[in-house]
């Protein structure tokens, strides 16, 4: 979930966690086990998902991390095969 906010007189996105990390991890692992996921682009910086990422890697699923350039999660970058960092301003274009 996100909301628009203001920081240093600039419009920014503020994300709020809603306790969905376990549900995401379960979906990831189930998809890897039943073969429906071959490749995943994970738009989350939640380190609680790292065990699920490692489980996917054992199933040969390619996982890429998508995070924010201003605050990347180094652990997620090291756990995944690839990482892509985007700017908050790029996201704001899509949520106007």
What is the distance of C-alpha 10 from the center of its chain?
24
**Backbone φ/ψ region at 12: left (φ over 0), alpha (ψ -120 to 50), beta:** beta
Q: Could you read off the pLDDT of 40-73 as tens digits, one per residue?
A: 999 988 999 999 999 999 999 999 999 989 889 9
Per-residue model confidence (pLDDT) at position 2: 46
Task: Map out the domains of the chain as residue ranges.
Answer: 21-92
Burial of 61 (0-12, 13-18, 19+ CB in 10 A): buried
Residues 6+ apart with CB under 8 A from 26: none
Query: How does pLDDT run across 24-48, given as a tens digit for each residue?
Result: 999 999 999 999 999 999 998 899 9
The CATH classification number of 21-92 equals 3.40.50.1010
Higher pLDDT pick, 7 / 50: 50
Q: What is the pLDDT of residue 92?
A: 78
Asked whether the beta carbons of 76 and 65 are under 8 A apart, the reply is yes
């Amino acid at each position: 979930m996100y909301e628009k906010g203001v920081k240093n007189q600039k419009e920014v996105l503020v994300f709020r966690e809603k306790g969905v990390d376990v549900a995401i991890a379960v979906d990831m692992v189930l998809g890897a086990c039943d073969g429906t996921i071959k490749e995943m682009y994970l738009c989350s910086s939640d380190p609680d998902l790292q065990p699920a990422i490692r489980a996917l890697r054992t199933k040969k699923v390619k996982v890429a991390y998508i995070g924010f350039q201003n605050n990347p999660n180094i652990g997620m970058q090291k756990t995944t095969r690839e990482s892509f960092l985007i700017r908050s301003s790029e996201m704001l274009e899509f949520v106007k």
